[in-house]
Amino acid sequence: MTSPAWHVDTVLLDVDGTLIDSNYHHTMAWWRAFTETGHQVPAWRVHRAIGMGGDRLVAAVADEQTEESAGDDIRTAWERHYDAVLESVPALPGAAELIHGLQDRGLQVAIASSGLPRHTQHAIDLLDADGDVDTVTTSEDAEASKPRPDLLQVALDRVDGERAVLVGDSVWDVQSAKEAGLQVVGVLTGGFGRAELEGAGADVVCQDLEELLRRADELIDPGR
């Protein structure tokens, strides 16, 4: 248990693997994109990179030479393959309830995603959360994507947030938040393990969003 609760005014929420159950859809879309462009990579390596921005993922999974010679083609193919399964991606249990619960506690809620704007908007529509979040950042809002902290800072600037906690599922989420000097709650919903998230610097790791909501009063103090 964490005592006392963190005194924050803003909660930053990752999307893929945190609010929607999309990490394995992304893994297969990227794997198919690599394969059809002639680059053989194992799916497990792709999964380990999910949570990074697409501008970084190709080099991380393959190498810089592949990024230079085929990065744009791979990203184009990934987008096509992910679009083909987008409608089958579900919200994670407790996602909408978490957003509403944080708002009810007087906290600002900011979406901080490295995803494409239309993919992020699809997730917000899926959660019926358009009127429940204070701002949304996507891959178009910062030059450097996760694990750099730029997107998080943009979100905080937009809501004039001074003290924030990030909720995310990947080591890349954790690293970006720690570089920004934020507290981090990790969740296991994206396939990264508890030890991995703690090793990257997560302050608390919850099994899922439902556990996080149950523990919200313990972890977060929204007092001004």
Tell me the pLDDT tens digit for each residue of 56-111. Answer: 999 999 999 999 999 999 999 999 999 999 999 999 999 999 999 999 999 999 99
Range list of β-strands (E), the chain: 6-7, 10-13, 108-112, 135-137, 164-168, 183-187, 204-206, 220-221
The pLDDT score that the predictor gives to residue 5 is 81
* CA 54 centroid distance within chain: 13
- The residue written with tokens 């945190």 in the block is 18
Specify the length of the chain in residues: 224
Would you say residue 4 has pLDDT above 60?
no
CATH topology for the 6-21+90-221 domain: Rossmann fold (3.40.50)
Query: Does residue 223 have a pLDDT over 70?
Result: no
Of 194, 215, 175, nearest in space to 14 by CA: 175
Query: Helix, strand, or coil here: 111?
Result: strand
Instruction: Between 160 and 130, name the one with better pLDDT.
Output: 160
